[in-house]
Amino acid sequence: MPDNKGVAYVKPGQVEVHDIEYPTFEVKDGPGVNPANVGRKTPHGAILKCVATNICGSDQHMVRGRTTAPTGLILGHEITGEVVETGPDVEFIKEGDLCSVPFNIACGRCRNCKEGKTGLCLNVNPDRPGSAYGYVDMGGWVGGQAEYVLVPYADWNLLKFPDKDQAMEKILDLAMLADIFPTGYHGCVTAGVTPGSTVYIAGAGPVGLAAATSALLLGAAVVIVGDLNEERLAQARSFGCETVNVSQGDPKDQIEQILGTPEVDCGVDAVGFEARGHGADAQTEQPAAVLNSLMEIVRAGGALGVPGLYVTGDPGAHDDAARVGSLSIRLGLGWAKSHSFATGQCPVMRYHRHLMMAILHDRVSIAKNVNATVIPLSQAPEGYEEFDRGAARKYVLDPHGMLAKAG
């Protein structure tokens, strides 16, 4: 049995690469594992050799101490891997297949899965609908920032790339299918982006850049990205976006300078609950700032896509209400403008095959747009530190040196 290493959350601000157990077809006790899942058999699963596994902004929320993540939790929900073993109940996925792993774990059998709501599977997390690898309160499935990982319900969850050699040529782009590309795309779809739309995307981190890429792919006329970080805004401009630096004031004033009107057709929140204010308040945490700003910016009758993460518990919040996920949202404004809102985990399976085809047929260069940067698994702690300081990069871990060889 091979050795295995994984990136573990140690304490706020610190991750380490630890020796961990090689996966088996049974859920074992460990940090963050739901007791009701311990001993659960997974003959429907597959063990993957992780070819690419990314650091996500959602991981950073945990590493900053903004959740109840336990010490020792193995992180990582953005996984691309090669199948090395399948359980006895796996019929279609085979050893050697190179696959993308949706970050949502789904059974394919429950009501929600059958309705395409794979981010809300009823059978994988005993506490509530929805699950993910390596994430707090998501059932305790071991994360994939590791050398090897178990994927349950493999026939359902895995997206097999049709040609392995072709896939390795585009592996950095395909690595974005596990989460940020479908998540950004979902934000745009739910915000109503169509050909000719004007779009404002709050946040120029990897999800925001993926949303901007998605808006262009969907035919938007103008895509405007707002952020505080000038390096990240420059990355957005590198592939054709307009930008606003929200530290310079209310974004609607800068949007008016770009469009001639302070309103857009569609708004996407790619920031989430660690949002900051605008202008003079740009260094002050205001968790409802982005949502309230979008309701001002989006035209009456428009929509807001909210792929940014909001939580039910935030121990690092600045007030008691925000600690339980209660925010001062101007719902009256949204109601008066007949806005629609879409929130929650992106149902990755709804989009990932179409986006895979767009990548394979050179319709989009998502890795370039998010500045995908490969580092070895051993350098994960440095990657987390640089990302937390605002690096305009999407860090992709290379546990087996396969990305370096492909590049």
**Res 270: pLDDT:** 97
Angle of CA points 8, 378, 210, to nearest 5°:
75
pLDDT digits (tens, 9 = 90+) for 349-393: 999 999 999 999 999 999 999 999 999 999 999 999 999 999 999
* Res. 273: pLDDT tops 90: no
Which residues are CB-neighbours of 29 under 8 A, at least 6 positions away?
35, 38
264-269, strands of its sheet edge to edge: 242-245, 222-227, 198-202, 264-269, 298-305, 340-342
Mean pLDDT of all residues in 150-176: 98
DSSP 108-174: S-SHHHHTT-GGG-SSS-SSSS--BTT-TTTT-PPPSSBSEEEESSHHHH-EE-S-HHHHHHTHHHH
The residues facing 243 across adjacent strands are 225
pLDDT digits (tens, 9 = 90+) for 86-111: 999 999 999 999 999 999 999 999 99
380 phi/psi in degrees, rounded to 5: -55, -45
Which of these ranges, 211-215, 296-300, 315-319, has the smallest mean pLDDT?
Answer: 315-319
pLDDT digits (tens, 9 = 90+) for 218-266: 999 999 999 999 999 999 999 999 999 999 999 999 999 999 999 999 9
**Res 170: pLDDT:** 97
**Res 311: pLDDT:** 85
| Percent of the chain clearing pLDDT 90 (strictly above) | 88
**Res 317: pLDDT:** 82
- What is the token pair recorded at 59? 């991981």
* Res. 407: pLDDT tops 70: no
| Percent of the chain clearing pLDDT 70 (strictly above) | 100
How far apart CA 239 and CA 217 sit, in angstroms, is 12
Q: Are 255 and 264 in contact, with CB atoms under 8 Å apart?
A: yes
343: left (phi over 0), alpha (psi -120 to 50) or beta: beta
**Res 321: pLDDT:** 84
CA distances from 90 to 94, 105, 158 (A): 8, 16, 11
Mean pLDDT of all residues in 4-29: 97
**Res 264: pLDDT:** 98
Structural domains for the chain: 5-179+347-406 (3.90.180.10), 180-342 (3.40.50.720)
pLDDT digits (tens, 9 = 90+) for 36-58: 999 999 999 999 999 999 999 99
**Res 281: pLDDT:** 82
**Res 194: pLDDT:** 98
